[in-house]
Amino acid sequence: MPWSNTLLINNLFLVIKCTFRGEEATCWTTTERHYDRFKKRKETRTVTHQGQNTFVTIDVILSNEGQLPHGQYEYPFSIRLPPNLAGSFQGPYGTIKYFFVFIVDKGIRSNYMCEVPLTVISPVDFNKIRDELQLQPTSYQDEKILGCCCCASDPLTMEMRLEKEAFAMGEKMKVNVRIVNLSNTTVPRVELNLQQNIWYKTLTGYRKLDPYILITLAGSGVGAHGDRNYLFDFEIPPVALPNFFGCLLFETHYSLIAKAVVPGFHTNLYVQTGDIKLGTIPLINIPTETSKLLDPPPEYTDEKTSQNEKNGILFSNIASAPEEEVPTAPPKSKMMN
């Protein structure tokens, strides 16, 4: 991706240098218990975890011809950015930033230095990571026993099926959830969440998770000794997807989490998928096998259930993000004496 600018100076110089640099940094605080030898007791202290890494550096010598007479000179230049570069990012525990550093070497006098920030937008292109995509139908299942050890009931089972595990923004996602409730307890509510998990890391191995729910869907429950299918059909929301390609301090993962709400002292039943890929640019040539949809679930025949409940959806809450703007080339910068 080419980028060009013009450098103006009005001074004597020896060397003019331009450096394109990309840096990632993370920082967060935690508390931990430790033993104070002087006070001879355990105390709580705050610990700061930091990480910093420069993952791309490109140097360009604009001029090394020695001294020039007083005057004004222009040095046009262009830099082609590497492919698959991570995008600029600003999060609660870290940032990814790009900038140009211009240096005028004045010899025995102090150098002149100027930094110009730059925004890089890097879409997630499925065509570049085709081998990492799961394009075949998958299923996940779990169960739990309700009741105590002396009067345990039959299990509550939940299964979640997907047509694939890679979706581009604006694409329809179809998820089939089946609940077989052989227990004596009514399940009042079923939920499905699409969650984004961003990991902030340090070079010494510390990690910080920042989860965020992108979309939430819900359906009515299942009675005791009941069996019900839910078909959740929704569109991937137009959110800003971070691209951390080549970064050491950032990771992002997406997952679907189905939850069967269990009343009383019992814990809820969860079924979670593996890593789902969300992208900005869809595949150009999709194999015919990946277009196969899930088999439609049997129709729920409860006459008291509304039409929306038949589809298993009661409400949706899409957390939107501001649209990204394509950065324009910065105006010509001047470096004066």
- For position 217, which CATH number holds? 2.60.40.640
Question: Are 135 and 272 found together in one domain?
Answer: yes
* Cβ-proximal residues to 56 (8 Å cutoff; 6+ apart), any chain: 20, 21, 22, 82, 85, 246
Question: Are 136 and 264 found together in one domain?
Answer: yes
Question: Are 77 and 28 found together in one domain?
Answer: yes
C-alpha to C-alpha distance for 296 and 121, rounded to whole angstroms: 39
Domain boundary residue, one of 101, 118, 135: 118
Determine, yes or no, domain membership for 242. Answer: yes
Question: Are 58 and 142 found together in one domain?
Answer: no
Question: Are 39 and 155 found together in one domain?
Answer: no
Domain boundary residue, one of 118, 137, 158: 118
pLDDT in tens, 252-309: 999 999 999 998 888 899 999 999 999 999 998 765 444 444 554 444 344 333 444 4
Determine, yes or no, domain membership for 168. Answer: yes
Q: Which helix (H) or strand (E) holds 307?
A: helix 307-310
Determine, yes or no, domain membership for 325. Answer: no
In contact, 1 and 326? CB cutoff 8 Å: no
* Cβ-proximal residues to 272 (8 Å cutoff; 6+ apart), any chain: 140, 255, 256, 257, 258
Determine, yes or no, domain membership for 35. Answer: yes
Question: Are 193 and 229 found together in one domain?
Answer: yes
Question: Are 132 and 274 found together in one domain?
Answer: yes
Q: Cα 302 to the chain's mean position, in Å?
A: 40
Q: Pairing state of beta strands 226-235 and 207-222?
A: unpaired
Question: Are 104 and 138 found together in one domain?
Answer: no
Q: With CA atoms as reference, report the closest residue to 102 among 8, 22, 24, 25.
A: 8
Determine, yes or no, domain membership for 289. Answer: no
Question: Are 199 and 114 found together in one domain?
Answer: no
pTM: 0.76
Determine, yes or no, domain membership for 315. Answer: no
C-alpha to C-alpha distance for 167 and 282, rounded to whole angstroms: 8
Burial class (CB in 10 A: 0-12, 13-18, 19+), 42: exposed
Low-confidence ranges of the chain (pLDDT < 70): 1-13, 65-69, 71, 107-110, 147-152, 286-337
Determine, yes or no, domain membership for 151. Answer: yes
C-alpha to C-alpha distance for 134 and 290, rounded to whole angstroms: 9
Determine, yes or no, domain membership for 229. Answer: yes
Question: Are 158 and 267 found together in one domain?
Answer: yes
Buried b (16+ CB within 10 A) or exposed e, 112-130: beeeeebebebebbbeeee
Q: Pairing state of beta strands 207-222 and 316-318?
A: antiparallel
Q: Which domain covers residue 76, as residue numbers?
A: 12-118
Question: Are 102 and 156 found together in one domain?
Answer: no
What is the per-residue pLDDT for 322? 35
Split into its structural domains, the chain has a count of 2
Question: Are 58 and 33 found together in one domain?
Answer: yes
Domain boundary residue, one of 58, 88, 118: 118
